[in-house]
C-alpha cells in the first residue's frame, strides 16, 4: 500500500493538486506536448508564419528541469507528443490544410526544416534539449489534442495512469485541447504555468484562467518550481 512517504501533492491554483490528497508516482505521467522544431525552432511552422518563437523557447528550461527530475522519480511516467501528418497527407483534412495556407505556404509545403508539419521531416522532431529517453512513448497525432486518432488513451489506461501533468506548446491550442479531452475522460490534470506558452500573451493568460475557473473546471495550474519542490523528496 502507498503511504504519504511515497506519494506527493503539489501547491497549485485553485486547490492543492491532486483533488484526492496525494498520488503515487506510478499513477502520474508528465505529458510534454509538441516541443518540436516546427513549433520552437527557426524555420519551423510557427516561424514560417512570422511568429516570434522566443516565448516558446522560454519554456524549454523549466520543462527540462521537470523532465530531468521526473526521470529520477521511481515509477513516474513521461510521454511526449508530436503534431504532424503522414507524408502522403492522407490524414490532413481539407479545412485544416486551407486554414494553414492562410498564414503561410501551408502544411506539407517545403521549408528550411523540410515539409511543414510532416512526420519524418527535421521540423517534426522533438528539440534536442528534450529528446525522449529510451522507453518514453512518443505519440504522433494528426490533430490538436493527444487523444484524437491516437493510442494515447489506450496507453494511459494500460499503464494505470490516472493523473496528468501537462507542459508544452501551445497553451491555447494543443495543450488545452489535450487538457479538455483528458478531463472529459476522468483524468486529474495539472498544467505547468512556466512550461507552456501561446503565440499571444493574452491567449496564454486566458487559457490559464479557463483552467482554474469555477473551482478548477479543467484542473489546476502550478509553476515548475512548485512541482519540483513536491517531487524532489521522491527522487533517487
* Active site positions, annotated: 34, 141, 174
Q: What is the DSSP letter of 42?
A: T
- The position carrying cell 473546471 is 217
Q: Which three cell numbers stand for residue 52?
A: 516570434
Calculate ∠ Cα 195-199-200, nearest 5°: 105
What SS3 class is residue 4?
Answer: helix
- The position carrying cell 503511504 is 3
Distances (CA, A) of 45 to 16, 107, 116, 191: 37, 8, 6, 24
Pick left, alpha or beta for residue 197 (phi over 0 → left; psi -120 to 50 → alpha; otherwise beta).
beta
Give the count of beta carbons closer than 10 Å to the beta carbon of residue 218. Answer: 19
Question: β-strands 114-115, 110-111: how paired?
Answer: antiparallel
Amino acid at each position: 500500500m502507498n503511504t504519504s512517504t511515497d506519494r506527493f501533492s503539489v501547491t497549485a491554483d485553485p486547490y492543492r493538486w491532486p483533488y484526492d490528497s496525494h498520488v503515487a508516482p506510478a499513477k502520474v505521467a508528465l505529458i510534454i506536448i509538441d516541443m518540436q522544431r516546427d513549433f520552437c525552432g527557426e524555420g519551423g511552422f510557427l516561424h514560417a508564419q512570422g511568429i516570434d518563437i522566443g516565448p516558446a523557447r522560454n519554456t524549454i528550461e523549466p520543462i527540462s528541469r521537470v523532465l530531468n527530475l521526473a526521470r529520477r522519480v521511481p515509477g513516474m511516467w513521461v510521454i511526449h507528443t508530436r503534431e504532424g501528418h503522414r507524408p502522403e497527407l492522407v490524414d490532413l483534412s481539407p479545412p485544416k490544410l486551407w486554414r494553414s495556407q492562410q498564414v503561410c505556404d501551408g502544411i506539407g509545403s517545403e521549408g528550411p526544416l523540410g515539409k511543414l508539419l510532416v512526420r519524418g521531416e527535421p521540423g517534426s522532431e522533438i528539440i534536442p534539449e528534450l529528446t525522449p529517453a529510451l522507453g518514453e512513448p512518443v505519440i504522433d497525432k494528426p490533430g490538436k489534442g493527444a487523444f484524437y486518432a491516437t493510442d494515447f488513451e489506450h496507453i494511459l489506461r494500460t499503464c494505470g495512469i490516472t493523473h496528468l501533468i501537462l507542459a508544452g506548446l501551445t497553451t491555447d491550442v494543443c495543450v488545452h485541447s489535450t487538457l479538455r479531452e483528458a478531463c472529459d475522460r476522468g483524468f486529474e490534470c495539472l498544467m505547468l504555468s512556466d512550461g507552456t506558452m501561446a503565440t499571444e500573451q493574452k491567449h496564454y493568460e486566458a487559457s490559464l484562467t479557463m483552467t482554474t475557473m469555477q473551482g478548477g473546471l479543467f484542473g489546476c495550474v502550478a509553476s515548475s518550481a512548485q512541482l519540483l519542490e513536491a517531487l524532489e523528496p521522491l527522487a533517487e
